[in-house]
Structure 1
Amino acid sequence: MHRPRLNEVFGLTWRRAPAHTAIRYILQGLDSDAVEAAFRGHAKLLQAAHAKPDGGSLAIDGKTLRGSFDAFRDRAAAHLLGMFATDTALVLAHSEVDEKSNEIPAAQALLAELGLAGHLITLDALHCQRKPSSSPQRPEPT
């Protein structure tokens, strides 16, 4: 449906849309850190253009990606932490949670990276521990 526009923007001459496998190979070849940096920059611009003057509220939550485990390479399912701006309905950032950790240190690092002074931030009950830096390890999936 958007092939003519993509041809125009990227200077292509495709007569038909690429197969889903071609798109998959392109996405797999990208540097994930560079894609995340570009994503965060674009989301920051959108958030600044549409955010409420009071700074708005943000929600942080972690999710395990279904089907992302790799039994052949003995890799557990990927666990991501996402930050959502409730006033603009934008996802502002993603961060992968280390396999040998949980989302508490990942959330602390994400908040430090983004410098979110003046925002109300909500997190789930996992983050209400007395000593969040010495939190228990995330259990291995069975």
Structure 2
Amino acid sequence: MVPFGRLLDALSEVPDPRRAEGKRYPLAPLLLFTVLALLSGATSYRHIICFLEQRRIVLNALFGCTLKRAPSLNTLRTVLQMLDRDALEEAFRQHARDLLPPAEPGRMPVVALDGKTLKGSFDHLNDQKAAQALSAFASAAAILLAHTEIDVKSNEIPAAQQMIAELGLSGVLFTADALHCQKNL
């Protein structure tokens, strides 16, 4: 459970958008328990709440929390929808960087960049293109370092360049599709 303790620390850096009166459930543990529910197969808010109701006592003991009960479905949905997406993404990126093992002498770590079109995201009715996402995956450590949505009016190339800059990694070999093998980059 050590990596999840580190994730709890990283999620503590996400600003809580609620008013002081509305903070019945501490944000960082609520986010961590939501992540654990999703990793356990929860596919809806209702499934997340069921997971919390069934495992609240064990989770409280493992992570030193004091949730008296699971939040309501509306409370969970509202909290998750109010979050600053960039701050949450940065917390996950920081956690992933902390999990990276140190590079072995004489070997350069490999990070694979890959863009994917999200299945079912094309909207015929509103004439919207399919959503695309770019991911950075540390191969040896099997850790997803970052992901980002590719702008509708752009493509994978500038998104990859921006992601490399944001990751701030040095001494790393980045791999990408042939699309990135262009003369004028």
TM (normalized to structure 2)? Answer: 0.58
Tell me the CA shift for residue 7 of structure 1.
3.9
The one-letter amino acid of 1:115's match is G
Aligned position for 1:12: 67
The one-letter amino acid of 1:11's match is T
Tell me the CA shift for residue 27 of structure 1.
2.9
Residue 36 (str. 1) matches residue 89 (str. 2): yes
Tell me the CA shift for residue 117 of structure 1.
2.2
CA deviation profile, 1:16-62 (whole Å, cap 9, x unmatched): 6866x865554333211011110111111011xx2432341110001
Residues 7 and 13 in structure 1, CA contact (< 8 A), matched pair in contact too? no
SS in structure 2 of the partner of residue 87 of structure 1: coil
SS in structure 2 of the partner of residue 83 of structure 1: strand
Aligned position for 1:135: none
Aligned position for 2:103: 52
Q: Please give the root-mean-square deviation of Cα atoms over the aligned residues, in Å.
A: 2.7
Among 162, 170, 173, the residue aligned to 1:109: 162
Aligned position for 1:90: 143
Aligned position for 2:131: 78
The one-letter amino acid of 2:167's match is L
Aligned position for 2:177: 124
Take 1:18 and 1:52, find their aligned partners in 2: how far apart are those partners? 44
- Residue-pair matches, total: 128
Take 2:139 and 2:182, find their aligned partners in 1: how far apart are those partners? 24
Deviates more, 1:80-89 or 1:52-61: 52-61
CA deviation profile, 1:73-129 (whole Å, cap 9, x unmatched): 654332111000011000001122111000100001111122222111110111112
CA 34–85 in structure 1, closer or farther in 2 if over 3 Å, else same: same
The one-letter amino acid of 1:35's match is L
Residues 137 and 143 in structure 2, CA contact (< 8 A), matched pair in contact too? yes
SS in structure 1 of the partner of residue 95 of structure 2: helix
CA 86–5 in structure 1, closer or farther in 2 if over 3 Å, else same: same
Task: Report the structure, 1 or 2, having the larger helix content.
Answer: 2
> Following TM superposition, where does structure 1 have runs of at least 4 consecutive aligned residues deviating by more than 6 angstroms?
none
The one-letter amino acid of 2:97's match is K
Take 1:38 and 1:96, find their aligned partners in 2: how far apart are those partners? 17
